Amino acid sequence: MTEKNPYAHEPFNPPKPPPKVDTRTSTPPRSVEVVSIDEIVLNIRFRNNRDELKKLVIELMEPNKHLKPNANGERVSTLHQYALVSTREPIDMSNQRIRTTYRPNLFIRKNDAFGPWNFNYLLNLLEIDYQCEGNKDFPEVWKTSSTTKVRIERHEIKTTDPSSTTSVVEEDDVRIEDLLKKICLLNKRDENEANEWKKSLNSESISTIEHLREAVTNEYCWDKITSIKSLVKQMIRDYVQLKAASHTFNAENNTYDKSTATLLGDIHRVRRYFHHVIETDQYIPYLDREAVDTAIREIRLVYNDDGNVLNNIHAYLRTFCLQTNHASKEAQNQKNDEWTEKRNQLIEQNKGYNIQIDRLRETATTKQILVDGERMGYERAIKERDKEKATTIEELFRKAAANSTDFATSLKLRDQARKIEEANDKKVADAKHRLEKAEKDLAPFLGPIKELEEKIVENNRQIRDLDAYLKIDLAVAHQMLKVKFGRGLLLYGPPGTGIHKR
């Protein structure tokens, strides 16, 4: 036998692990079909009773002229398009037992190194949710399409005091079950999971909301909890910490009663949010003019303007209230078609006017000839009267003066001169009367001719303008006329706070 070397090195051979046993079911995961719903209800719930907010909702429910017509040739409202755009991607509600209402998460809650913070896209002025028509349950996975019918329902605050403008105050959670169910709802999880979380918290001696708050605020204790998964712990911690921060949106801290400008500014932010989602925010000004004007008036009440400071700030901010109009190629072609059609209508109109003028002139030619003849007769009667007055009548008066000693002869000569003068005056008066009658008969034809000629001149001016418009590239023209907003940082504060330092 070979002697065993006591100093020999034997390689390490770890034991083989036992074979893994798959305890999971061999049934493949169930595929869920995405259902496109035909009808949906968008509920707009007011969080404030102010009339300015109600006007915003009415404005958003009116047809939006910047949206393309639908299949029926109608323009839908901003809220209608918002409902379709915000739900056109599949929405998974398969892990929810109750699916009668879908509430999109428009409240951003974050917890970073600097502490909790939150932001509500609707600024706590409005709340929205969706329901199926007839209050039916949503499919497990659903979406909307361009043909989905949208019905918008407004739900105003019910209050016993009609003059109240107070915002709705969110009630605090009383039981830990309610708090955990809200966390499930916000994170789109099944409410039954709240019961499992509650059991895990009870095993850690956390049975009330007060216990939970104390555990969350104590970072050392919270990290020691191991009965709940890390993701669930993070959701619970974020909700509890951010619940306190969300009170900044409550009515107790509401500044709208003190400043209407703040309310108008926030309403405009909500307006721009809806238009941003449906991609029509380029037609909405950056600032609301009424909000800017109201803010300047409110500042004047507490700030004594030493010079023209507020006027300059007001003028500067008003440049951000200008509505920007972008001329798309489609809009330009549509406008060109409208101008071309208008131009053709004016040309056809002028042709009709010329035909009417020719007919009127043909009828008025005979009348015009009579007027010209009577005018010549009138002028001839005046010349004959003046000629005979300078010759015959003057001669008779001279003879009467020469025979002044013969009273009878002198009187006879004077009477003869007066009769000739009266006869000539009568001829002139008769000629004038005939001329006026002829002009009166011609007037009904000359008036319409003059009006038609003026209309033709006006139409020709519009045709020249339209020809000039058709040669303009609207995109280039709007770009040249576009207001260039100033860039900078506007600092506001009382004197002596360093706002003028650079």
- Cα distance between residue 135 and residue 43, in whole Å: 12
Other C-beta atoms lying within 10 Å of the C-beta of residue 303? 14
Which residues of the chain, if any, have pLDDT below 50?
1-2, 4-28, 160-171, 245-246, 248-253, 502
Cβ neighbors of 19 (< 8 A, separation 6 or more) are none
pLDDT tens column, 137-162:
899 899 999 889 999 999 987 654 44
For the chain, what is the largest distance between any 2 Cα atoms, rounded to a whole number of angstroms?
A: 204
pLDDT tens column, 184-226:
877 777 778 888 888 888 888 888 888 888 888 888 888 888 8
Question: Where do you find CATH 1.10.287 in the chain?
Answer: 329-480
User: Which pLDDT score is estimated for 30?
Assistant: 57
Q: Are 106 and 120 in contact (CB under 8 A)?
A: yes
Query: What are φ and ψ of residue 129, in 5° steps?
Result: -155, 165
DSSP characters over 296-357: HHHHHHH----SSHHHHHHHHHHGGGSPP----HHHHHHHHHHHHHHHHHHHHHHHHHHHHH
Buried b / exposed e across 67-80, counting CB within 10 Å, b at 16+? beeeeeeeebbbbb
Q: Are 183 and 239 in contact (CB under 8 A)?
A: yes
- Tokens for 399, please give them: 């003879």
Find the DSSP H helices in 160-253: 176-186, 193-203, 209-217, 219-224, 230-245
Torsion angle, alpha carbons of 17, 22, 23, 29, to 10? 150
DSSP characters over 65-90: TTSPP-TTS-PPBHHHHHHHHHTSS-
Long-range CB contacts (within 8 A, 24+) of 133-136:
133/38, 133/39, 133/40, 133/41, 135/100, 136/100
- Cα distance between residue 277 and residue 152, in whole Å: 17
- Cα distance between residue 385 and residue 432, in whole Å: 13
What type of residue sits at position 266? D
- Cα distance between residue 30 and residue 346, in whole Å: 68
How far, rounded to the nearest angstrom, does the alpha carbon of residue 304 sit from its chain's CA centroid?
35
Q: Are 265 and 271 in contact (CB under 8 A)?
A: no
pLDDT tens column, 60-88:
999 998 888 887 788 899 999 999 999 99
- Cα distance between residue 55 and residue 502, in whole Å: 42
Residue position matching structure tokens 């008969």: 441
User: Which pLDDT score is estimated for 24?
Assistant: 42
Q: How far is CA 446 from CA 43, 432, 449, in A?
A: 67, 20, 5
Q: In what order do the strands lie in the sheet with 101-102?
A: 101-102, 126-132, 39-46, 149-155
- Cα distance between residue 450 and residue 444, in whole Å: 11
Architecture of the domain whose range is 329-480: Orthogonal Bundle (1.10)
Q: In what order do the strands lie in the sheet with 35-36?
A: 35-36, 141-143, 91-92
- Tokens for 192, please give them: 């039954």
**Torsion 350-356-357-358 (CA) sign:** positive
| pTM flag (> 0.75) | no
User: Which pLDDT score is estimated for 129?
Assistant: 92
- Cα distance between residue 238 and residue 232, in whole Å: 10
